Amino acid sequence: MYKLTSGFETHVELKTNTKIFCCCSNEFGSEPNTRCCPVCIGLPGAMPRLNKKVVEFAVRAGLALNCKINSLSYMDRKNYSYPDLPKAYQISQYDVPLCYEGFVELDSGKRIGITRIHIEEDAGKLIHNDAEILIDYNRAGVPLIEIVSEPDIQSTEEAKEFVEKLRLIMRYTEVSDCKMQEGSMRCDVNISVSDTDKLGTRTEIKNMNSIANIQKAMEYEFERQIEVLENGGSITQETLGFDEKSGTTYSMRTKEDADDYRFFREPDLLAIHISEEDIERIRQTLPELPDKKIKRYVAELGINKKDAELLIKYPRVAEFFEKASKGVNSPKKVANFILGVIFGFLKSETLKEEFKLKITPESLKGIVLLVESGKLNMSKAKTTLEQMLLSGKRAEELLSNEDLGGFDEDMLLCLCGKAIDTNPKIVADYKAGKDKAIMALVGYVMRESKGRADAEKVKEKLKEII
């Protein structure tokens, strides 16, 4: 029985304003080679200066992933030659990274260890056209953290959960938007198989940019390695690419060892010192993280776990929900409006992610308060909310006096009385034991109230009177 063993190296682009060693803008997507300077394109003599924010963001990420922080760490040169790397070395961290020994906890309680997190610069981007290769150096010098996990992942399901959790934690801490499609989060997946307790030789699948592809590539590679071993072959330690179209991996190069990079201390930069006070200050600014939010929603707000998971999946939705449910009796109603009406309105993942609405949390809260006070029934509340989402108008502008307020206990009593007086035959039927007859009276009251009354309440009231 072959077992799968996998570890992840995840590159996350940090959302700082400027690049890691210069003052160039770190904004995504602009004309090629317009966000460059002598430092990030590696002109001789240009001196790097470490962006303090990068260190702060990396520590923030480390603390959120339960890491320890090195009070003293260093920048190192990783030497290799490639057209996207104009200096012929990448400034990274080698033997002493900023963060170490953290973990991500899966729902099962199993912990996936985080070996280390280090900071480094991104390389430029090669654009392959038909007959030529173009280079865009806008990405050169973009700050990255590399999050290295222990080989604790043993299935594609665990891989999916790990990446989803990691991504969400990074987004809640606001160190990165982690858009896998745009490459601001990319995973290298190490994979080996073995039918003994000893780990097998691993291969590394580079630059995976979606969770679905990660799972497909892992499944393919798992089967491929088993087949090689079953046929008496051995696994070569190598770097692989994943071909999305065929769903297969292909060899890119045999894997380099650390020795091949001739790491040495970066002589143009000082060591990085971080004090206990700095670490504590950063820890204080950490937001409530997703898993804790879920627990709180369930325990304190009466939301079921599945709904809580949907609410926290997008940080903006969670924020909106929390604002809208302050001061209402039933946060569950708020959740239902968001997951039902609003999510029905925002069809795509991107729209849910952005969560740009014409209404404020306060106006949703307003609707819920009207429902809770019995002034507005549920179905009218839903259609009103739909109109609000389209028009941006407030509930008060859309609801007439007739819809609102006018319908209270007295009115209910009055209409029920009227229903009984005008329908003596039905009342007689009901008294004679035809329970269903009462629905005709309920229907009468609902018509008279133009649908504003609450049918359940009407039924109760009618029974009471009769």
Nearest CA-CA partner of 58 in 237, 278, 225: 278
**Three-state secondary-structure class, residue 128:** strand
- Using DSSP's 3-state secondary structure scheme, residue 68 falls into strand
Closest approach of Zn ion to the CB of residue 39, in Å = 5
Only one of the segments 40-48, 178-186, 221-229, 380-388 lies at the binding site for Zn ion (rule: CB under 5 A); that segment is: 40-48
The three-point CA angle 313-318-320 to 5° equals: 140
272 is a contact residue toward Zn ion (CB under 5 A): no
**What six digits make up the tokens of 318?**
């969670």
Closest-CA residue to 297 (of 287, 285, 312): 312
Least separation, in Å, of the C-beta of 140 and Zn ion?
Answer: 8
> CB neighbours (10 Å) of residue 295?
12
Among 20, 24, 159, 175, binds Zn ion (CB under 5 A): 24
Give the residue, chosen from 4, 12, 22, 191, that forms a contact with Zn ion under the rule CB under 5 A.
22
Give the residue with the Cβ less far from Zn ion, 122 or 161: 122
| Residues that contact Zn ion, how many (by CB under 5 A) | 5
Shortest reach from residue 17's CB to Zn ion, in Å = 13
* Nearest-approach distance from CB 18 to Zn ion, in angstroms: 8
Which residue among 4, 40, 318, 359 contacts Zn ion (CB under 5 A)?
40
Nearer Cβ to Zn ion, position 29 or 327? 29
Closest approach of Zn ion to the CB of residue 37, in Å: 3
Residue 37 binding Zn ion, by CB under 5 A: yes
204 in Cβ contact with 255 (< 8 Å): yes
The CA-based dihedral angle spanning residues 437, 439, 443, 449, taken in that order and rounded to the nearest 10 degrees: 120
* DSSP reduced 3-state for 431: helix
Using alpha carbons, select from 129, 125, 134 the residue that is nearest to residue 184: 125
Minimal distance in Å, beta carbon 24 to Zn ion? 3
CB of 143 to Zn ion, least distance (A): 12
Query: Can you tell me the distance from the alpha carbon of 381 to that of 376, in angstroms, rounded to the nearest whole number?
Result: 6
- Residue 142 interacts with Zn ion (CB under 5 A)? no
Stretch that binds Zn ion, among 19-27, 46-54, 121-129, 415-423 (CB under 5 A): 19-27
CB 341 → Zn ion: shortest distance, Å?
Answer: 47
What is the Cα–Cα distance from 384 to 327, expressed in whole angstroms? 21
Q: Which is nearer to Zn ion, 54 or 240 (CB)?
A: 54
Q: How far apart are CA 390 and CA 358, in angstroms?
A: 7
Within positions 294 to 353, which residues make up the interface with Zn ion, using CB under 5 A?
none
Output phi, psi for 416, to 5 deg. -65, -45
Q: Which helix (H) or strand (E) holds 452?
A: none
Nearer to Zn ion, 6 or 138 (CB): 138
Pick the closer one to Zn ion by CB: 67 or 75: 75
Q: Which residues bind Zn ion (CB under 5 A)?
A: 22, 24, 37, 39-40
